[in-house]
Structure 1
Amino acid sequence: MKKLILSAAIVLGSLTTMNAQAQEENATPVEQTTPTEQATPAAEAAPAEQATVAQEVDAYTEVKTEEVPAAVTEALKKAFPDAVLNKAAVNAKKEYQLQVKVGDKEGALYADETGKWIQNN
């Protein structure tokens, strides 16, 4: 059962990655601005700049595996006793992205700081 859940998590992670790549390919390019246009005040920031800031907030920052809260590592051990934690990252919402390996399968799992599993869409 645990292998089935991990396999599902890996498949969902792969689909999320493919969807993100497809969205990037379909995105319209940001227009280049001239030096005089760049001198506009920050209050008049372009929507593209605001979108970039929003993406940075949701971005994950890599942390040492020792810095992952005990609740998250315990949840991982409970759900997947054979899992090996390779990398960990955290975002501004204190949601953790765990790169794990179970046997010959690798994937990403997502949990909040209390160890509750979440889906990353």
Structure 2
Amino acid sequence: MKKLILSAAIILGGLSIQAANPVVKNSMTQSVTVQDEFTEVSADAVPAAVKSTIEKSFPNTKLEKAYKNEKNEYKLEISNGDKKYTVFTDASGNIIKK
């Protein structure tokens, strides 16, 4: 009889533990991506100050493509052998970190 009561107590105790409501934590992350629209321009349309900065800051590189946005910022794709880099500058030739 004692074993029957002890078994019932263990089973009911086990069921009550499993019946507990789990704590569910929902976290929401909101991210905003700001993407400036760049349009491709020819290498001749890039100001001399920008070209000079690229030549001084990145010697022995070749200007592959140039892009310009509404804020007169330039996105320049340059290469040195098989390595390619993307550099952002303003119209005065100052390098912008993005």
TM-score (normalised: structure 1): 0.51
Q: 1:117 is matched with which residue?
A: 95
User: When you count helix as a share of all residues, which structure comes out higher?
Assistant: 1
Paired residue total: 66
For residue 62 of structure 1, give the secondary structure of its aligned residue in structure 2.
Answer: strand
User: When you count strand as a share of all residues, which structure comes out higher?
Assistant: 2
1:101 and 2:76 matched: no
1:89 and 2:67 matched: yes
Task: Report the Cα distance in structure 2 between the residues aligned to 1:78 and 1:119, rounded to whole angstroms.
Answer: 17
1:68 and 2:14 matched: no
Runs of 4 or more consecutive aligned structure 1 residues displaced over 2 Å after TM superposition: none
**For structure 2, which runs of at least 5 residues remain unmatched after alignment?**
1-33
Q: Which has the higher contact order (CA 8 A, sep 6+)?
A: 1
| Letter of the 2:78 counterpart | V
Alignment RMSD (CA, Å)? 1.7
Task: Report the Cα distance in structure 2 between the residues aligned to 1:104 and 1:61, rounded to whole angstroms.
Answer: 25
Written as runs of structure 1 = structure 2, the 5 A alignment for 1:18-97 is 58-97=36-75
Q: CA deviation at 1:103?
A: 2.1
**For structure 1, which runs of at least 5 residues remain unmatched after alignment?**
1-53
